Structure 1
Amino acid sequence: MSEHTYKFDVKMTCSGCSGAVDRVLKKAEGVSSYDISLEKQEVIVKGTIPYDDLLAKIQKTGKEVRSGETVA
């Protein structure tokens, strides 16, 4: 399975919000690396995980995912 890079616009207002996303991504299978920017309200994820699975995992944190795209 090939690796993809995904970019999500996630509504995060504090370090607790980004921490919740961090905990979910840390445990997610198929995620090789990720970068969470509270300042930019952005989550960039690299891995073999399918887009829909990743989106569902981020949404499970209760954070609003305003948009998401596959960038590579």
Structure 2
Amino acid sequence: MPKHEFVVGMTCTGCSDALTRVLNKLQDVKFEIDQPNNLVWIESDKDVDVLMETLKKTGKEVKYNGTK
């Protein structure tokens, strides 16, 4: 399963909590959130566009950095 890296504009733990809520709704996804560095890593076979749209549901700015 590829591991995708995203930069997400997080300013507080509420932001990372919101990301956790939307990502927990996806099936077959593992993720890590590094709030101080504004990074989110998602292990998933889902299309990157699906992952981006899910992250954007939080209202935060999202940038895809590629697979790691």
Fold shared by both chains (TM-score > 0.5):
yes
Tell me how many residue pairs correspond in the alignment. Answer: 68
2:8–2:60 contact (8 Å) kept in structure 1: yes
Note the residue ranges of structure 2 that are not aligned, 5 or more in a row: none
Give the corresponding residue for 2:65.
69
Shift, 1:34, TM fit: 0.5
Contact 2:7/2:65, CA 8 A, preserved across alignment: no
State the identity %: 35
Dislocated runs of 4+, deviation >2 Å? none
TM-score by length of structure 1 reads 0.86
**What's the counterpart of residue 50 of structure 1?**
47
Determine helix, strand or coil for the equivalent of 2:20: helix
> Secondary structure at the residue paired with 1:39?
helix
- RMSD across aligned C-alpha pairs, in angstroms? 1.1
From 23, 26, 29, give the equivalent of 1:28: 26
2:66 partner letter = T
